[in-house]
A and B are shown apart, each in its own frame.
Chain A
Amino acid sequence: MNNTADVIIIGGGVNGCAAAYYLAKRGVRDVIVLEAAKSIGHGGSSRNGGGVRQSGRDVRELPYAMYGIQYMWPTLSEELGVDVEYTQKGNLRMGKTEEHIKKLQTLASNARAVGLDVKMIDKKEVKEICPYLSDEVIGASWCPTDGHANPLTTTLGYYKRALELGVRFFTEASVKELKKVKGKIRKVILADGTVFEGETVILAAGYESRAIARTVGIDIPMMRLIDEALVTEMQPPMTDVMFGCATADFYGHQTVHGSFVFGSDSGWEPTDEMIDPSNNCVDPSKLITNAFTLSASCRAIQDYIPALTDAKIVRSWCGWLDESFDGVPFLGPVDEVPGLILACGFTGHGFGTAPSVGLMLSQMVVGEPTVVDISALSYNRFLPVR
């Protein structure tokens, strides 16, 4: 077996698969993707709420969130040959109290300041957008260009197209260590001792990227949190907007299939230290949903969308978030380790931006300027100013 490639991507999530696809598309086809789990997209990429949003994003991320929505999401299904169910029908962030509305107003004016169309709407306008909402909702912020997509088919769609273009994928390939040769990144070593070699290495393994980067002396300040989600049985078509609320009790949307997918947490989720950190990513039985959360989520949802009170829940699940210390990802090359590029710390919103992130990663590999400036997302932003 040939274990050498121009580019080695660690992590077969939506960001790793998207990077592989955009590299192959531009002709860099000698690419290997290493995924620790048995399934591609085993991490957050197949567990998320499918939000493709700009509202609420940090100004450092907004330019590429907007780029993806303008230029990439609308044609993605066609490009991948898989229906990614991209639906751009707006994001409604609801409020029930004056305090909520104040919070939403601040978020809306922050968004407008950086050029995003977000406005406040009143109770009547909220009902016009979705008549099924509770009368307790007194207003909302409204971003008409936000939307949602299907994370399952998006992730596997990037994978499928990359495979078709010749990218080599290995599953059950858990990376343990990186090694430099002559001052440059070179070796990627698996837990079973297998060695891969590449000119460039993209580290897109979610939270696990932290341990992997440490093996070449780089620390990426992030931690790991659990977020849960649930899905209802199929409902008649009711709405195509993305929902959220001022208190962030839940978010969600009705899928093309007809089921509603909601994400939430109760605040009682176990943290890292309570679960065996050595393998919880690979073994799905270690990712256990919490008895409090499903119940708390249902209370939050039915209080905002009473029409769903009798909807049956068919499934619930959870996933890890790679929470960066300042809420935005680590994206870009590592000065101390030439050839190593980071793409991790997506902090619970790395699905919606995956197309533009994948594209920019491919640009970094060939040394082209990225479509938007992302220098503010460098891993060394925490270094003391000298």
Chain B
Amino acid sequence: MFDIQEKLKEIGPYIEEADDDLLVCRCEEVTKGEIRRALHQGIFTIEEMRRYLRSGMGLCQGQTCGKLVKGIIAKELHVSPVDVYPASSRAPMRPTEMRILAEDGGVCHE
């Protein structure tokens, strides 16, 4: 069981940092400051962060920024990065055209 309000109290208010403008997710242009601010609003998991800010939701699906985001979350929440639950990987493994995915031996037209 995880008490969100308790954790919010523990981590205290958001305090601006010098490198908050740093671009962390390049595909969706999400900065370190946006991620840190979201954490102080109660967005604690990678799953929630992706949905809230779109970090890791672009073309590379978080392959570039996944580790960075994890590190920022861990530091802000005072936990080890290994305790930050990873995002789920989804099909297709890399972006694939609709017309290619449509070909599984099924028929296109009746």
Partners in one complex: yes
Contact A46 B3 (CB under 8 A): no
Docked pose: A308 CA to B99 CA in angstroms: 9
Q: Mark B4-28, 1 if CB is under 8 A from A, else 0.
A: 1110100000000000000000000
Q: Which chain B residues numbered 85 to 103 have a C-beta less than 8 Å away from chain A? A: 85, 88, 90-92, 95-99, 101-103
Contact B5 A314 (CB under 8 A): no
Among A38, A257, A311, A314, point to the contact of B47 (Cβ < 8 A): A38
Instruction: Name B's interface SS.
Output: loop
CB of A289 closer than 8 Å to a CB of B: yes
Chain A count of residues within 8 A CB distance of the other chain: 51
Instruction: Name A's interface SS.
Output: mixed
The number of chain B residues touching the other chain, given as a range, is 35 or more
Among A194, A232, A295, point to the contact of B102 (Cβ < 8 A): A295
Docked pose: A291 CA to B104 CA in angstroms: 9
Q: Mark B38-60, 1 if CB is under 8 A from A, else 0.
A: 00011111011001101001110
Q: Mark A146-178, 1 if CB is under 8 A from B, else 0.
A: 000000110110011001101011111100000
Contact B106 A299 (CB under 8 A): yes
Most buried by B among A171, A284, A296: A171
- A289 in contact with B90 given A38-B45, A153-B51, A194-B1 (CB within 8 Å): yes
Docked pose: A160 CA to B49 CA in angstroms: 12
Docked pose: A312 CA to B41 CA in angstroms: 33
Contact A303 B109 (CB under 8 A): yes
Q: Which chain A residues numbered 288 to 310 have a C-beta less than 8 Å away from chain B? A: 289, 291-292, 294-296, 298-299, 301-303, 308-310
CB of A285 closer than 8 Å to a CB of B: yes
Among B51, B96, B104, point to the contact of A152 (Cβ < 8 A): B51
**What residue of chain B has the Cβ atom nearest to residue A169's Cβ?**
B4
Name 30 interchain pairs, CB-CB below 8 A, sorted by A: A1-B3, A38-B2, A38-B47, A38-B85, A39-B45, A39-B48, A40-B48, A152-B52, A153-B52, A156-B43, A160-B41, A160-B42, A163-B5, A166-B5, A168-B3, A169-B4, A172-B2, A194-B1, A289-B90, A289-B91, A295-B102, A302-B99, A308-B98, A309-B97, A310-B97, A311-B97, A312-B95, A312-B97, A315-B57, A315-B90
